[in-house]
Amino acid sequence: MAGAAVTIAVGGCSLLVSTDGLASSADAAPGATDGGGADTSAGDATGSDGGSSDAAADASDASTGPFCASLSPKPKFCADFDQGGTAGDYGSIFGTPSLDVSTSKSAPASLLAIVETSASVRGSAVQTNLSDTPTAIALSFDVFVDEYDSAHDVELVTVNYASAGNLYCDVNVAVRSNMWTVGEYCQMNGTATGVAAAHHTSSQLMRGKWTHIDVTAAVVSGGALTMAVDGVKAFDGTMEPGFVTGKTAIVIGIPYLQTVATSRSKVFTDNVVYDYH
């Protein structure tokens, strides 16, 4: 069903933004927002929000792994969480992310992130720092939202860019008011720079099932920005004026919850691919 995307101003950022001590691309994980412009949506993947469900019930959706090893050519970053170990083997951690084998898009595991009700920690995620400064990106991942704090904005994957003078910008995929959103945000020394808006789509969150997300962006002021949900374009517009690229990092799980949780959020993420030039 076709629908219009709406852009609103927001204040937000991922919790893990420092890119001090950057790793090289070879040191990436072992397998691995909010703007203006033309706010148009070409279709959506709508559906009712069925509420919390048992993630294991959707386990039959899992394909055989390993996903990252099957890709050719190889992307700059890929994380399928199928190499065993702990979440900390995939980057620095915030909160309590973990590897989970109860459900996955590619067997045997996915990354599980939980933020409990009234948690003082406003996120649960894994961050990998990369040494590169992209000008164009392609991000894709599979996500299973089992529980969602619908009173707040919940970011699921965030790509950070750190430039000179403590300026940080990010592109993020979030769920806001039960709808899929792609956003941009910039801050300097913890203060918003004016780049702070969310591109709402008409594509509704469907809990209890795997959803595939694709984002492409020219990460410069006025660059093209698109998002598709389950292969259906949900947003097609441009980056906010003032967006600046820099050394990049990717944050997976629940990088940021808008405020202290009023209900539990529980998210599984798998097959994260981040490529750029």
Per-residue pLDDT of the chain (277 residues; tens, 9 = 90+): 333 343 333 344 444 434 443 333 333 333 333 333 333 333 333 333 434 444 444 444 445 558 999 999 999 999 999 998 999 999 999 999 999 999 999 999 999 999 988 767 789 999 999 989 999 999 999 999 999 887 778 999 999 999 988 899 999 999 998 999 999 999 998 888 889 889 999 999 999 999 999 999 999 999 999 999 999 999 999 999 999 999 999 999 999 887 776 788 999 999 999 999 9
The structure's pTM equals: 0.79
C-beta separation of 225 from 216 below 8 A: yes
pLDDT of residue 44: 35
Burial of 25 (0-12, 13-18, 19+ CB in 10 A): exposed
φ/ψ (deg, to 5) at 70 = -85, -10
Angstrom distance (rounded) from CA 139 to CA 274: 5
pLDDT of residue 204: 94
Contacts 24+ apart (CB under 8 A), 68-75: 68/31, 68/32, 68/271, 71/273, 75/273, 75/274, 75/275
C-beta separation of 122 from 137 below 8 A: no
pLDDT of residue 203: 95
Number of neighbours of residue 241 by Cβ within 10 angstroms: 12
C-beta separation of 177 from 20 below 8 A: no
pLDDT of residue 65: 53
Angstrom distance (rounded) from CA 156 to CA 172: 7
pLDDT of residue 59: 42
pLDDT of residue 261: 67
- DSSP code, position 75: P
pLDDT of residue 149: 81
Using the structure block, give the residue that is written with the tokens 């069925």.
50
pLDDT of residue 127: 97
Q: Can you list the domains of the chain with their CATH numbers?
A: 6-18+33-44+87-264+271-276 (2.60.120.200)
pLDDT of residue 19: 40
